[in-house]
Amino acid sequence: MPHHKKKIRLRLRSFYLWHRYIGIIAALLVVVLAVTGILLNHTEHWRLDRRYVQSPILLDWYGIPAPDIGKGFPVAAHFITQVEDRLYLDTTPLPGPAARLVGALAWQGILVAATDNSILLLTNKGELIERLSAASGIPQGIRHLGLDPPGKLVIETRQGRF
């Protein structure tokens, strides 16, 4: 009989250990769910809705290709950058798709950005004033954007300077 009681005690101890480990794992799961739930409830307050995953490992894991970041130009107190087919003023996307960004500068209180087939005139807040393209008489194949010594806007194309 004592041998039988020892087996029962070992079995109960085994169940006790299993119960402990399963309880610890369940408690950790509840803590993770509670913390992530609180984060999801307060995304706007903590500005989590403005933060994006940037880790190449995580992006690769989920099959999200990293965006192709093109050129960028400092303009006044801002930065105009091309990411894939979009232009951004700092972190604000500019309207419409854009070809290859070739230059940007501040001119007479406005921001000017040139792609290889159009010129964008913007306010300091990134609002589009005008998009000049071939329909407006802008030549195709813009290579550079700049100012001449008197301060006039100049674009350089394959055909020359305008």
In a domain, 11, yes or no: yes
In a domain, 78, yes or no: yes
Residue 58 in domain: no
Max alpha carbon distance in the chain (Å)?
109
- Domain range for residue 22? 2-48
pLDDT at 36: 93
Burial of residue 155 (number of CB atoms within 10 Å: 0-12, 13-18, 19+): buried
CATH number at residue 105: 2.40.10
Number of domains in the chain: 2
- Cβ atoms 72, 81 nearer than 8 A: yes
CA distances from 141 to 51, 86, 111, 128 (A): 36, 18, 20, 22
Positive or negative, the CA dihedral 92, 95, 96, 97 is negative
Divide the 162 residues of the chain into consecutive groups of 10 and give the mean pLDDT of each group: 67 84 96 94 86 84 81 86 87 82 88 88 85 82 86 84 84
My answer on whether 150 and 87 are in the same domain is yes
Q: What is the pLDDT of residue 25?
A: 97
pLDDT given at position 16: 86
Q: Is 65 helix (H, G, I), strand (E, B) or coil?
A: coil
